[in-house]
Amino acid sequence: MATVLDYSDGFPGAGAIAAAGHIGAVRYIGFPGRRKCTTAAELADFSRHGIGMALVYEDFNGDWLNGYAGGQSSAQRARNHANAVGFPASRPIYMAVDRDVVTAAQFDVMAAYLAGAGSVLGRGLTGVYGEHDVCARAAGDGVASWFWQCRAWSGTPVRLFPGRHLYQGVGTVRVGGVDCDVSDVLRDDWGQHNHINTFLKEIDPMSVIPFSLPYAADFDNVALPFEVGTSSSVIAQGWVSLLATFGDSNYEVICLKGGQVVPFKSQSAATVGVLKENTRVFFQFPDGAEGLAIRYKNLTPGARLGYSFPQIPK
């Protein structure tokens, strides 16, 4: 199983992390100049070595006790620092709940903290680090979309949250002269800065398929719900749900056939240029169309080109 590190007392270096067999690390964010937090130089080092970096915010283990307003201020501090080091605004940030949460009142405060963070980051970009019950409550309340479960406080025998992206075990390893915690990676996309999503399913044009996808978490995983018509030249009507932070970015919806980009028979003008949140779009597919994609058109220096191939179940 793939693993990632987290650490707070120095910088082991991307080369050492990769050489030790790990695919990346989750790094602290929110406090420029603090030793435990990442930097622009470290992020660039990760990119050069082709390993991933995700982010977690934690000032101290009781941040979450500040409730909704505390979540807002913590998330804003985290996003400001993430922007400053060049971390993509389209990627999530985990908010740490780094102690045992026990009482009903504590769980309510914790959920409010994550809701406050989501009001700044966006629900689809809000993650949580914590024990099994913290992850389960956050998922149940819809206040987080990314889950990093820790072994601590998760019971004996351990209770594993089924929606976890990462799972932090016990014990440490020493990499590049730095003591590091180790987490198992349960999902291909665990919030890393350099993830590109590529999943493709064939369109079945002979049936009506109403469906929806999970809320988009990044620009290369854009939700496209459709109702597909009944001929081989199908008409799809749907909407593109884009995160508010993408409102001024340029995208285009493209059609795929035989693994190549091909033109639609017709499409609404909204599918080229700027797609605002909940833009309604219309497509007429060519015969043999296999899938749709969102392509990010105006790349900034150092950005990655991303395609999304929404799952279209038969």
Per-residue pLDDT tens digits of the chain, which is 314 residues long? 899 999 999 999 999 999 999 999 999 999 999 999 999 999 999 999 999 999 999 999 899 999 999 999 999 999 999 999 999 888 899 999 998 898 999 999 999 999 999 999 988 899 999 999 999 999 999 999 999 999 999 988 989 999 999 999 988 999 999 999 999 999 988 999 988 643 323 322 222 222 222 222 233 333 333 333 322 233 333 333 332 233 334 555 666 666 566 776 666 565 554 444 444 455 566 666 655 555 544 444 443 333 333 333 33
1.20.1440.230, 2.60.210.10, 3.40.50.720, 3.20.20.80: which CATH number matches 3-185? 3.20.20.80
Chain centroid to Cα 38, Å, comes to: 18
Assigned CATH class of 196-314: mainly beta
Q: How far apart are CA 77 and CA 309, in angstroms?
A: 33
CB 174 within 8 A of CB 10: no
Confidence at residue 84, expressed as pLDDT on a 0 to 100 scale = 95
Task: Name residues whose C-beta falls within 8 Å of residue 44's C-beta, 6 or more positions apart in sequence.
Answer: 86
User: What is the SS3 assignment for 193?
Assistant: coil
Q: How far apart are CA 74 and CA 64, in angstroms?
A: 9
The pTM score is 0.66
User: What are the sequence ranges of the domains in the chain?
Assistant: 3-185, 196-314
Task: Name residues whose C-beta falls within 8 Å of residue 68's C-beta, 6 or more positions apart in sequence.
Answer: 112, 113, 115, 116, 119
Confidence at residue 288, expressed as pLDDT on a 0 to 100 scale = 63
What 8-state DSSP symbol labels residue 241? B
What 8-state DSSP symbol labels residue 215? P
Residue 20 burial (CB count, 10 A): 16
